[in-house]
Copies of this chain bind each other. A is one copy, B any other.
């Protein structure tokens, strides 16, 4: 994914000094290593051009608006190549774990998606009624998988599915959140010994995030039954479990005080019940916490919570055998918004921005998530026959956003560009390093590396250039 091989260029060196004096003799050509974007990254260039183009078209009135729909983007060849490499790595892992690929339509009957996503149902794209069936765009790959299993009466399958899904979400393209994005799902359907498939899903997340070298990460794990047990012992009526769950799920984005006031104000819980919930959902730890909660006088009396805690203990035993507990956190604040989870749930988050040079760190949120949904297939089966399932979805789009800005290099497409203009461009756009090669540098076998911000330059032997750039761009 590093494009440093493209850095070779020819030009004359501009000395450090006054901000922008008179242009130097032309002939310079600069390669720019960019990793300090001052504004939304990713397809920033495209966006700017879109805006210009759209503004241009509004005057003429003959051209349509020149843009992609809100929250979507085009992928130029370099994006597609990077994405294909990423997807290939994920597929390799999925296949290593014995999964086979299926594909389902982007379109589903609306009724197929109804009642599966809780509050997120409003984010489903619906197609216009043009006569015939009422359709919608798939929101994820899990519900179509459950439909597929029920339709084909399959009770045992390990499958992966890599495809685009659609959500009318508030796009945050700088954080890699789009309205159209790829999901990479791995799921295991079938009746097996407890927690073995669940442990394999966590192992897969661990393998993929390690392989891709995204930096430190943690996989939060919880169980819907434990959460529901907590709600029960805190005196919440069962009818409010799901809505309370949605509120707890916001704990990763807002402080407890705000979550508490949503519980009391919007969801109608008593302040005492909310406080009681707060004592539990702010806990996180490992086996020790599981043991502690198994001894909890109230929770240990709750059948659901006891089952969930017992399974969580078993899961941690398998994860210990896999040697991955170092990255696993049993976290009672993890709730996950979707209705269909019935047991273990998990979510992987990166622990820090991957690059200090980025002034506005890319907060990519979770990069993988999933859980157990033993009831979903039964919702489709005419006789309600259940097929236990557990699965994980890799947030490839967010990972893509991170990798995309790791080290990016560009070069002005002019045969005879002014060097000063190029350096100005670097300063304007926050590009941290400029690599400059003129005749002297060619003769000397070096590259002049300029720190754009402090305007300092140093000659680097060509064979050490890549290492030097990596070193300077490291967090």
Contact = CB atoms under 8 A, between A and B. Distances in A.
Given A77-B159, A126-B130, A111 B65 contact: yes
Interface string A367-387: 000000000000111111000
Nearest to A76: B102
A56 B382 CA distance: 6
A319 to B, nearest CB: 29
B147 A104 contact: no
Contact of A130 (B152, B168, B379): B168
Contacts of A103: 74-75, 79-80, 83
Interface stretch (A46-54, A226-234, A419-427, A447-455): A46-54
A56 B384 CA distance: 11
A283 interface: no
B106 A65 contact: no
B63 A381 contact: yes
Most buried by B among A77, A81, A153: A77
A172 interface: no
Contacts of A59: 382
A63 B50 CA distance: 45
Contacts of A384: 62-63
Interface in A210-234: none
Interface string A13-35: 00000000000000000000000
B104 A64 contact: no
A3 to B, nearest CB: 14
A377 to B, nearest CB: 11
A127 B125 contact: yes
Contacts of A151: 46, 49-50, 53, 66-68, 74
A349 interface: no
A150 B114 CA distance: 39
Interface in A129-150: 129-130, 132-133, 135, 137, 147-148, 150
A462 interface: no
Contacts of A50: 151
A237 interface: no
A104 B74 contact: yes
Contacts of A66: 147, 150-151, 380, 382
Interface string A86-106: 000000000000001111111
A274 to B, nearest CB: 33
A60 interface: yes
B46 A152 contact: yes
B63 A77 contact: no
Given A77-B101, A101-B81, A382 B148 contact: no
A111 B152 contact: no
A392 to B, nearest CB: 19
A73 interface: yes
Contacts of A133: 69-70
A461 B307 CA distance: 58
A317 B75 CA distance: 37
Given A77-B102, A101-B81, A180-B105, A379 B63 contact: yes
A64 B134 CA distance: 13
A327 to B, nearest CB: 31
A270 interface: no
Nearest to A110: B64
A114 B64 contact: yes
Contacts of A363: none
Contacts of A74: 102-105, 148, 151-152
B128 A102 contact: no
A107 B72 contact: yes
The 7 A-B residue pairs with the shortest CB-CB distance, nearest first, are: A77-B100, A56-B382, A72-B105, A75-B103, A64-B111, A80-B101, A126-B128
10 contacts: A46-B151, A63-B382, A64-B114, A64-B379, A66-B380, A69-B133, A75-B103, A75-B104, A81-B101, A125-B128
